[in-house]
Amino acid sequence: MTLQPRRPSPAYGPRNRNRPVNASDTTSSPHTSVRVWFLTSTAIFWFSHYTYVPILAPYAEHQGGSFSLIGIVVSAYGFAQLLFRLPLGLYSDRIGRRKPFITLGLLSAGVAGMVLALSPSPEWMIVARFVSGISACSWVAFTVLYSGYYPPGQTTRAMGHISFVNGLSIMSSTYLGGWLADHYGWLAPFWASAGFGVLGTFVSLGTSESRVPAHGTLSLNASREILRHPTLIWSSIAASLGMYTVFTSSFGFLPNFALTLGATKTDLGMLSALTLLCGSVAGLSASRLALPLLGPRYAIVVAYGVVTLVTATIPHATEVWQLFVLQALSGLCRGTAYPIMMSLAIHGISERDKATAMGFFQAVYSAGMFLGPLVAGQIGGWMGYTMLFSSSALVAAVSVLASLKLPRRLDG
């Protein structure tokens, strides 16, 4: 009898999905099916977060919330991330794990959706949105784990892919949320969000994780050099100012303003969906079009320059279709800038420290998510929509200046 040579087991397969692979082993490359499975859990994650977003602020107003209270409801999401994103990144690097945070993030997203559905007042919605913000902190783990599926030189490509799925999922979920609210009432999007969170929890259990060397301590001092990295600092500041604008307009008070122009709940979902579709397409092509033409610095500068003009124009719209045009332009520009900034955040950072860097990046931009709706709610309550959006446009203009502070060497 002739013995056949034993075939080595693949690093990733049905029986090896959870097998740890050293991050430094460049010969081990996840199969396409592993990436697709991971991106599926990513899509469900964003469905659980954004299905109800088009009607969140209008529903808070329907519940009797003032401009200021609505601003707090929306900003609680960013406040939780401001508090917990960096600690999550530090702890993830300390233990060398990403997957547990992904699973817990999906589970807590489902809990947040359920609490929103059961909230008797806007005050309870604040609690639910804070829980949702804690859940969103796991995006640190999503992005770092997925970037590890690619060689170091393809980080922007990886960020473009996951940003595309991020945007496409938010686009689809926001359209779905508006449709559900129109056909089944205010609470339907919240219950759908809860369902997606539960589904995603089970899907995430099948994702593959590449182990990275664990840190021995959990200390900001140990990461001081990382947090001083100029590319990380300025990309984080630019992203934060950009998020201020996004959460003031598209994910903040734009739906309320659209209702004053006669928009339906389905229109609100379609408005968000179009914005995010444009952002997804732009994110997927950023590394192939914007970067070769302009370089990372000027790609971000041009993108946020257009966002500034678009945001300043919003309060002067008189028809709903005009908002669709403006938000499509805004989506294209934000979708171009975001994956570039995300890749710059971990540019030149070692594999073992990437979650710390990404946690810092996402914590800083969470400040914009928190302050945007909070400040804009106060401004809107005092001076109306025109000053609300004009002040947001001013912040977008400052993001252009912050982008110019990125190191010139990035442009090659």
9 DSSP 8-state letter:
P
Residue 241 CB coordination number (10 Å) = 25
153 DSSP 8-state letter:
G
Give the domains, in start order, of the chain with CATH numbers.
32-205+226-411 (1.20.1250.20)
pLDDT confidence of residue 17:
42
pLDDT confidence of residue 116:
94
Q: From CA 246, how far away is CA 189, in angstroms rounded?
A: 21
Cβ proximity of 376 and 72 under 8 Å? no
Residue 157 CB coordination number (10 Å) = 18
Average pLDDT, the chain: 81
pLDDT confidence of residue 371:
87
pLDDT confidence of residue 26:
37
Q: From CA 198, how far away is CA 103, in angstroms rounded?
A: 10
Residues of the chain with pLDDT below 70 are 1-31, 153, 156, 210-227, 286-288, 290-292, 409-412
pLDDT confidence of residue 9:
39
Q: From CA 336, how far away is CA 329, in angstroms rounded?
A: 11
193-206 burial, b at 16+ Cβ within 10 Å, e below that, comes to: bbbbbbbbbebbee
The model's pTM is 0.68
